[in-house]
Structure 1
Amino acid sequence: MNIKKRNLVMLMIVSLFVGVAISFVAIKFFLTSPTNNGMASADKDLLLQLADQQEMIEDNMGEMSKVVNAFTIIKENYVEDVDDNQLIEGAVQGMLQSLEDPYSVYMDKETMEQFNEQIEAEFEGIGAEVSMVNGNVTIVAPIKDSPAEKVGLKPNDQVISVDGESLEGLDLYEAVNKIRGEKGSTVTIEIMRPGVEEPIELDITRDSIPLETVYVEEKEVGDQLIGIIELTSFSERTADDFKEELAKLEKKGMDSLIIDVRGNPGGLLPEVESILKEFVPKETPYLQIEDPTGKKSRYFSDLQEPKDYPVVTLINEGSASASEILAVSLKEALDYDVVGTTSFGKGTVQQTVSMGDGSTIKITRFKWLSPEGNWIHEDGVAPTVEQKMPDYYYANPVQLEEGNQFEYNDSDPAIENIQLMLEGLGYKTERKDGYFDKNTEQAVKSFQQDNDIAVTGAVDQATAEVIQAKLMEHIRSGEDDFQLDKAIEILTK
């Protein structure tokens, strides 16, 4: 490579970093700039920040020459031709991967378009929020009524392969691109589930995933009217829809409210802030944000008085990010009860920064803290009232090789799951220890008879699949919802 070409590469790299800095400041400027009266002090600070970033780039030019040297070595020595853009994109991805932060990622133009779809009206895929945890593509939560929920994907499932191809070495968005696809197409994913020794294989038919995020229910208990608002994510219209439904419930004379964010993987920070401003009065912060320098800012509402009715929040291990903000803020600022199990534990805030060519860096910019200044990252929000769901909610799918079956006198950990599922469906097995006794055999026969399956008393793959399908229907019906029952008990006692 001659000197001119080396200078060109250096110019490309410097332009890349300066472009990012300018894009970031422009975003912040338009968010904070006044309509008149000159420049706000915050904007002056941001321009100073830009100057500091440019100075940093100049100071690090020597280190950047290492990147240029690597570029040169590859271009001049690699056995095949390599596209310049491929090397630059790889360098950007490598820098972000070196942070070892699953939430800071590079998204090319196509990936960015798919990312934007997830906060809009609808997209196509299996319907599950995923994250990178310890290098593994991990389910945060399946979306309500999605194919992922229907086949029984659970929080903390680790996806290890898609259609027989390992995900090892792929970043999060490369893995997501393999999982997503057109409505009606089928994808086979292999997962490892905590507590289960063998991988579980699931065939999922992709579908359109509508992002309707607010669901409302009313329950009359004695002379009390309890409103239940379920939030499945925090998307662009979540706060508006929530406030609209809340106003309807209040007009009906609601006595108490349950906010259900179980399985809610989070979303847009402004949406949860807007909801919290409906509850937390102005004397108390509803949230704190810590910037990269360690400076903490407290955020307040304009609300004069808190609500005149009690509120309980429902959470579980699939509640993450904005859901955790909602739960811990209501818990600490208003001493409202939180019912369920400890949440996922994501205490950081990301910001997207345009690279100017349609690609984007999503980078962790802030820590969010509770009203009292607690950081729940990796620990989660602990409920004030711990309540698990019935054991059968945690049963795992049963997979049998063709021609194999479980029958009387067999013993296997998978039989324990069958016993749990049958119990959940109302077929008494007596034992739940993995031993296939006569009671289990009779329960299987009764199930087969009720579901038009050949009555053998043995569980082959066909019977196992029907048991699992019926159990998912039962779970999705909301029966035996111990956590909701506990919240109602708290509000009515």
Structure 2
Amino acid sequence: MKNFHFVMLVFAIVFLSVGVTAFALAFGNEKAVDQGAFDRKEFEKLYAAFDTLNNGYFQEVDQDKLVNGAINGMVDALDDPYSDYMTVDEAKSFHQSISSSFEGIGAEIQEQGGFIVIVTPIKGSPAEKAGLKPNDKVLSVDGKSIQGMSATEAVTLIRGKKGTKVELSIQRPGMEEALSVPIIRDTIPIETVYGEMLEDGIAKVQITSFSENTTKELIETLNELQGQGMKGIVLDLRHNPGGLLERAIEISSLFVPEGKNIFQVEDRNGNRKEVKSKGSKSPNIPLVVVIDKGSASASEILAGAVKESANVTLVGEKSFGKGTVQRAEDFADGSNLKFTTEKWLTPNGNWIHKKGINPDYEVTLPDYASLPVIDPDQELKLSSSSPQVKVAQQMLKAIGFDPGREDGFFDEQTKSAVEKFQAAENLEVDGVLAGSSTVKLMENVREMLNKNDTQIQKASEILKQQLGNK
């Protein structure tokens, strides 16, 4: 294999907006809204309603709230979870999402059918450590129902200062009872690329989102791994909610030959524009991309581009399915209107919205990968019965300490399994799961999953075959 060096591509950078979530998801140009006066007949009814309430309501009204409510009503009428109006405070939080860091739980969310749904937790975030998963519905925040709220309103409640606690009530698909998930907020750094060498010259590179510095981070990581003998790349886009469009174009251009399509954009009149690879000194090196249901938006652009324009194999699960483009426009007072302007399609013209991208090899993770977090503050002990006990039993079995049952009842055999686990980990042996024992149990499950990551294993196997055929 020839030596190569990843070269940073130079692009005209346009400021790009984030999505209707706690972190960057959507994309588009940002400009100021024209503040010229409107004198149109269709607004007469709106003006009349404002004057009627302002002058005749039995209490004095907040005029700003009326105006904000009217704009919210127009946006809600679009029935589009990716279009949103943000007040001054909400817009400020929105813009912070593309900075170098922010404080919160680190989870991408969106509104779906009146519910706030987790798109994906950010790697290493409190949300990930707490066990939040894609498609979890957030029912309440600190006991307050958020059903019917916009994603921006929900973000305002969920975010908070580092070190403070927030408790989410979660409804997970396939589970009857809601889960109470306590999370300690933290600073969420926007580090987006993680690389490591596996074996036989195969490198795993994970991109967690497409932020301002992602291309630079990726090139530095690839150059470092090349120096360690990289012969093939597993590009991990799992739990990647997307981000800045320009970053997706730059990174796709590293792997898609110059002049080939990365994606297409279609406007409301059906006019299409092709976005082509900028070209790069891209290496002739085998690549396999791993996706899952948390791979959305810009990560789907990259996956679709390499699949259809560079014949790259996709492994994992069907992606999220977000095929629209948004633009954010700031008002003079600092509030913000974000709305969908176009749809994007794969190089071959496929619109993946609400459908997702199917992998070439569908591979699921072990069942224990979807287990929720256990609250370390709760004591799980002999004769107790709860959904948390059931989860603990499943975790114990996954790491080789069979509790004898998995129905949520803590019996003598479950206690014995806990005691054996505690002894093996040099913990206090009392047969009670709480505090450090609970934390250690969850850590062991995460470590077990890292060792038995079936999706990465399949991608590596495909790469080995490709390398062997060279």
* 8 Å CA contact 2:167, 2:182 repeated in 1: yes
* 8 Å CA contact 2:121, 2:133 repeated in 1: yes
For structure 1, which segment, 427-436 or 378-387, has the greater mean C-alpha deviation from structure 2 after superposition? 427-436
When residues 297 and 167 of structure 1 are mapped into structure 2, their CA distance, relative to the original with a 3 A threshold, is: same
Q: What is the CA-CA distance between 1:85 and the residue it aligns to?
A: 1.6
SS in 1 for 2:218: helix
> Residue deviations 1:137-183, cap 9 Å, x none?
11111111111111111111111111111113322111111110011
> Residue deviations 1:398-420, cap 9 Å, x none?
57997875659x8x776553332
Residue of structure 2 equivalent to 1:471: 442
Count of residues in correspondence between the two structures:
434
* 8 Å CA contact 2:114, 2:149 repeated in 1: no
TM-score normalised to structure 1 length: 0.81
Residue of structure 2 equivalent to 1:147: 126
Distance 1:471 1:91 in 2: 47
* 8 Å CA contact 2:116, 2:147 repeated in 1: no
Distance 1:173 1:79 in 2: 30
* 8 Å CA contact 1:217, 1:229 repeated in 2: yes
Higher relative contact order (CA 8 A, sep 6+): 2
Residue of structure 2 equivalent to 1:100: 79
* 8 Å CA contact 1:281, 1:305 repeated in 2: no
When residues 406 and 292 of structure 1 are mapped into structure 2, their CA distance, relative to the original with a 3 A threshold, is: farther
* 8 Å CA contact 1:313, 1:337 repeated in 2: yes
SS in 2 for 1:138: strand
Q: What is the CA-CA distance between 1:63 and the residue it aligns to?
A: 2.0
Q: 2:351 aligns with which of 375, 381, 386?
A: 375
SS in 2 for 1:350: strand
Q: What is the CA-CA distance between 1:276 and the residue it aligns to?
A: 0.5
Matched, 1:444 2:418: yes
For structure 1, which segment, 281-290 or 267-276, has the greater mean C-alpha deviation from structure 2 after superposition? 281-290
When residues 421 and 74 of structure 1 are mapped into structure 2, their CA distance, relative to the original with a 3 A threshold, is: same
> Residue deviations 1:263-298, cap 9 Å, x none?
111111111111011111134201111112221111
When residues 469 and 295 of structure 1 are mapped into structure 2, their CA distance, relative to the original with a 3 A threshold, is: farther
* 8 Å CA contact 2:376, 2:438 repeated in 1: no
Distance 2:447 2:57 in 1: 55
When residues 439 and 454 of structure 1 are mapped into structure 2, their CA distance, relative to the original with a 3 A threshold, is: closer
Q: What is the CA-CA distance between 1:441 and the residue it aligns to?
A: 4.8
Report the aligned-residue RMSD: 3.0
Distance 2:372 2:52 in 1: 51
When residues 196 and 296 of structure 1 are mapped into structure 2, their CA distance, relative to the original with a 3 A threshold, is: same
Distance 2:211 2:376 in 1: 40
For structure 1, which segment, 82-91 or 304-313, has the greater mean C-alpha deviation from structure 2 after superposition? 304-313
Residue of structure 1 equivalent to 2:231: 255
Distance 1:263 1:476 in 2: 18
Residue of structure 2 equivalent to 1:366: 342
Identity %: 41
Residue of structure 1 equivalent to 2:194: 215
Matched, 1:352 2:328: yes
Q: 2:219 aligns with which of 243, 247, 264?
A: 243
* 8 Å CA contact 1:127, 1:146 repeated in 2: yes
For structure 1, which segment, 395-404 or 93-102, has the greater mean C-alpha deviation from structure 2 after superposition? 395-404
Q: What is the CA-CA distance between 1:483 and the residue it aligns to?
A: 1.1
Distance 2:238 2:454 in 1: 13
Matched, 1:488 2:445: no
Question: Which residues in structure 2 correspond to 1:13-24 (within 5 Å)?
Answer: none
SS in 2 for 1:220: coil
SS in 2 for 1:368: strand
Distance 1:241 1:400 in 2: 36
Q: What amino acid sits opposite 2:430 in the alignment?
A: V
Residue of structure 2 equivalent to 1:109: 88
Distance 1:269 1:194 in 2: 31
* 8 Å CA contact 2:116, 2:149 repeated in 1: no
Question: Which residues in structure 2 correspond to 1:39-438 (within 5 Å)?
Answer: 61-221=40-200, 225-250=201-226, 253-303=229-279, 307-397=283-373, 405=381, 407=383, 416-429=390-403
For structure 1, which segment, 245-254 or 364-373, has the greater mean C-alpha deviation from structure 2 after superposition? 245-254
Q: What amino acid sits opposite 1:317 in the alignment?
A: K
Residue of structure 2 equivalent to 1:455: 430
SS in 1 for 2:261: coil
> Residue deviations 1:192-220, cap 9 Å, x none?
11111111111111111110111111123
Q: What is the CA-CA distance between 1:239 and the residue it aligns to?
A: 1.3
* 8 Å CA contact 2:135, 2:172 repeated in 1: yes
Q: What amino acid sits opposite 1:102 in the alignment?
A: P
> Residue deviations 1:188-247, cap 9 Å, x none?
1111111111111111111111101111111232xxx11221111110110122123223
TM-score normalised to structure 2 length: 0.84
> Residue deviations 1:344-381, cap 9 Å, x none?
11111111112222111111111111111111111111
SS in 2 for 1:289: strand
Distance 1:133 1:425 in 2: 35
For structure 1, which segment, 167-176 or 399-408, has the greater mean C-alpha deviation from structure 2 after superposition? 399-408
When residues 152 and 31 of structure 1 are mapped into structure 2, their CA distance, relative to the original with a 3 A threshold, is: closer
* 8 Å CA contact 1:92, 1:106 repeated in 2: yes
Q: What is the CA-CA distance between 1:252 and the residue it aligns to?
A: 5.1
SS in 1 for 2:393: helix
Q: What amino acid sits opposite 1:208 in the alignment?
A: T
Distance 2:62 2:297 in 1: 38
> Residue deviations 1:4-41, cap 9 Å, x none?
xxxxxxxxxxxxxxxxxxxxxxxxxx969xxxxxxxxx
Residue of structure 2 equivalent to 1:38: none
- Runs of 5+ in structure 1 lacking a partner? 1-29, 33-49
When residues 351 and 403 of structure 1 are mapped into structure 2, their CA distance, relative to the original with a 3 A threshold, is: closer
SS in 1 for 2:329: strand
> Residue deviations 1:99-135, cap 9 Å, x none?
1111100112221221111111010011111111111
* 8 Å CA contact 1:258, 1:313 repeated in 2: yes
When residues 444 and 280 of structure 1 are mapped into structure 2, their CA distance, relative to the original with a 3 A threshold, is: same
